[in-house]
A = this chain, B = another copy of it.
Amino acid sequence: MKISPKVAKRTFIYLRSLENLLREGKITTSSKEISQRTGFSHVTVRKDISHFAKLGKPRIGYNVIELKSGLDRFLLGGKTVNIALFGAGNLGTALLKYPALKRNKLNIVAAFDKDTNKISTTINGTRIFDIKKAKEIISKKRIVIAILAVSEKNASDVAKVIISSGIKAILNFSPASLNVGKHICVKNIDLSIEFKLLFCLASNAT
């Protein structure tokens, strides 16, 4: 089945709420409750969920456990995701120490840098390797996502290394538009742009 990125993203947010509901001991929930907790309209919630399966019961709503496992199965199927970090600077180090990733089965299993002072050291249990060894380690550790957290001027060169290592998905924190083929998925997070955008939106909303 074909699921648009928008639906998938919202569904991950529903899942986050479902985990909270579970922790609170709730047995059932409704599109209205999920709507209140996530900010999406109750119609959107129902329509998104119905893309995956008919899991709700009229008059009652959804069983929290059933819904969570149903959505999970379609999206990740309980898989663990192995990630490589490129660039062990300030941002990269913060990501290595970010606790929510492991909790979500997102494991940064290797980091790469070109700084010889950093190579062979360990941050929060993750070893930093010479970027020249990227290809070898990526295939050995079955890494499927790369974090690009190097400076702008090195971004496109490192991106080439990433792609030639066989990785198909990049989370790009550098302020550079990567010129990659259509078979590579890139998600750009340029913090400067996010701040400027937020400022504009807040200014125009007054």
Interface residues of A (CB under 8 A from B): 3, 5, 8-9, 12-13, 16-17, 36-39, 75-76, 79, 81, 83, 90-91, 93-95, 97-98, 100-101, 103-104, 106, 144-145, 152, 168-171, 175, 177, 179, 183, 185, 187, 189-202, 204-206
Contact = CB atoms under 8 A, between A and B. Distances in A.
Number of copies of this chain in the oligomer? 2
A198 B192 CA distance: 21
Given A16-B175, A90-B98, A104-B196, 15 more contacts: A3-B200, A3-B204, A5-B197, A8-B197, A12-B197, A13-B193, A79-B199, A91-B94, A94-B94, A168-B202, A169-B202, A170-B198, A171-B194, A171-B198, A187-B194
A54 B100 CA distance: 47
A90 B100 contact: no
B5 A201 contact: yes
Given A169-B202, A198-B169, A202-B169, A101 B192 contact: yes
B177 A39 contact: yes
Contact of A90 (B8, B9, B93, B206): B93
Contact of A202 (B101, B144, B198, B202): B144
